[in-house]
Structure 1
Amino acid sequence: MSKITRAAPLLLAAFAAAGCASAPGRTTNDDRYEGFNRAVYKFNDTLDRAALKPVAKGYRKVTPQFVRSGVGNVLSNIEYPGTFINQFLQGKFLLGLKDTGRFLINSTLGIAGIFDVATPLGLEKNDEDFGQTLAVWGVPSGAFLNLPLFGPSSMRDAPSRVVDWFTNPLQYSDLPWEAEWGQRVINVVHSRSELLPLDETLRRTYDPYAFIRDAWVQQREFNIFDGNPPPETLEDLDLEEEPEEEELQDAQPQQ
């Protein structure tokens, strides 16, 4: 109950801020802290090569596909309350109700989420977090920020992880700390194993850091706009390019 009491002010503040929604805040690749970010990337990459990647490869080698699918389903279901909570905070009440139903169905009929029973019933999986909610409320991303151990983020999304922490139902359970940390380790290893097929593509890129940064920004925008960026977003981008063309024309020598 003490954790719920501490989380309550955050949730109340979130609901209060929801009334201030405007146009969604854009996510940019503003890399003003590039020196720091590249140093963190090098640290994360070194740690990944030395420990995480070998463990993930071993996990993928010894674990059958159907077991990995079940593990992924359970891990996703554990964190799914964060999705429907943020759906409600963003004013997507119908989607919030559907995602609540998805969570309840998979938690019961799906045996604690091992089996994805909800998708065949038409309840598709969504992905929301408090960083996306802030964006929907009109909060811009600020500068890109690479976090130790966690990877790509932004000045908006990094602190929002605190709120996401409180939407995980395991925070309110009486599990022993060994089980709680075991779940986190499995989550990290499983998530890394799912990214192994992308390693070859990343290896062939000229600048892996910039590739990951830009890919994360694009994926973030895709998620915030639910895969459908509004037409005005493209128009805004075109307007930003027009002055550059005019400047080029003005810079040409007059004959």
Structure 2
Amino acid sequence: MPITKPAPLFVRSTVVVVLTALASGCSSTPAAKPGSCESANYTVHDPAEPVNRGIFAFNRTVDDYALAPVARGYRKLPETFQAGVHNFVANFGEPKVFINDLLQGNAQRSVNTLGRFVINTTAGIVGLIDVSGKLGIERHKADFGQTFGVWNVAPGPIVELPLLGSANLRDATGEVLSFAVDPFGDNSSTVETLGTINTVGGVVDGRAEALPLTDQLQAEPDYYVALRDATAQRRADFVAQGKLGAVVQDNPQCENGAAADE
């Protein structure tokens, strides 16, 4: 009697293959001129600057004595370990990226995100290995702040959030909504543990990634203004990418974001 492949395993394998094909096709969505460093226009409205500067002083103290030193130590770890943490954090965030892709009405990007998540969670060992990237399925980011921008919601005034950093009111609202939305639910101790690992890893990995930029901005005469404006520029570019609906590859030469945006 011939041995048949178990149905559940066959179904999972088929889904992965189909999603790989779909995502590969969608990853060829026209991007914003590869290598282009064109920046979107932005404005900064900071009516509560004195209050924001007070919160910024607190945030900088926490960063100088806790986050930045840990991030510098993290950067000395083997690159393979850092890549694993980065990939895991990015993969754990894919469901929220998928939700925002749908809210932005971008079917192609949503299929791309879903395909990446399924492939990397299975073949990539819960996302530790970016198998999708090796297959040419590029990663892109999306969050609720970007979604509000795609919906043409005005940025609003600047607010300095304790521990979270500088943001406009639109992005701050998106941050709060992101904390409230949990695609995984909380009925599994395994998911809860993975969520905790993701939070810690995300903070450290994100701060480490931003170190070169923040070190540069700290040399400016007014670090508060430099960081605030760099964040505003990056978020304006991010919203423009969302409206374009493209899978835009990170270009380090054009990077002008901020730690608060990670």
Partner of 1:186: 201
In structure 2, distance between residues paired with 1:50 and 1:107: 35
- SS across alignment from 1:225: helix
Is the contact between residue 88 and residue 198 of structure 2 (CA under 8 Å) also seen in structure 1? no
Residue from 103, 106, 127 that aligns with 1:113: 127
Pair 1:72 & 2:86 matched = yes
Higher gyration radius (CA): 1
Letter in structure 2 aligned against 1:121 = L
Residue from 187, 194, 204 that aligns with 2:219: 204
- Distance change >3 Å, CA 27–CA 157, structure 1 → 2: farther
Pair 1:135 & 2:149 matched = yes
| TM-score, scaled relative to structure 1 | 0.73
Shift of 1:168: 4.2
Partner of 2:138: 124
Structural mapping, 1:96-107, within 5 Å: 96-107=110-121
In structure 2, distance between residues paired with 1:105 and 1:171: 21
Partner of 1:239: none
Residue from 221, 245, 248 that aligns with 2:236: 221
Is the contact between residue 124 and residue 131 of structure 2 (CA under 8 Å) also seen in structure 1? yes
In structure 1, distance between residues paired with 2:109 and 2:65: 41
Letter in structure 1 aligned against 2:50 = G
Stretches of structure 2 that go unaligned for 5 or more consecutive residues are 1-40, 245-262
Deviations 1:47-92 (A, max 9, x none): 111111122222222x211100110100110011111111111111
In structure 1, distance between residues paired with 2:163 and 2:182: 19
Is the deviation greater in 178-187 or in 79-88?
Answer: 178-187
Partner of 2:71: 56
Is the contact between residue 79 and residue 168 of structure 1 (CA under 8 Å) also seen in structure 2? no
Shift of 1:187: 1.9
In structure 1, distance between residues paired with 2:178 and 2:47: 26
- Distance change >3 Å, CA 173–CA 58, structure 1 → 2: farther
Deviations 1:119-143 (A, max 9, x none): 2323211111111111111210110
- SS across alignment from 2:109: helix
- SS across alignment from 1:152: strand
Partner of 1:28: 43
In structure 2, distance between residues paired with 1:183 and 1:228: 28
Cα RMSD after superposing both structures: 2.2
Is the contact between residue 91 and residue 117 of structure 2 (CA under 8 Å) also seen in structure 1? yes
In structure 1, distance between residues paired with 2:42 and 2:147: 13
In structure 2, distance between residues paired with 1:165 and 1:45: 23
Letter in structure 2 aligned against 1:154 = N
In structure 2, distance between residues paired with 1:173 and 1:66: 32
Identity of aligned residues (%): 39
In structure 2, distance between residues paired with 1:157 and 1:173: 29
In structure 2, distance between residues paired with 1:128 and 1:156: 14
Structural mapping, 1:163-178, within 5 Å: 163-175=177-189
Partner of 1:38: 53
- SS across alignment from 1:58: helix
- Distance change >3 Å, CA 149–CA 91, structure 1 → 2: same
- SS across alignment from 1:139: coil
| Alignment size in residue pairs | 203
In structure 2, distance between residues paired with 1:223 and 1:212: 16
| TM-score, scaled relative to structure 2 | 0.71
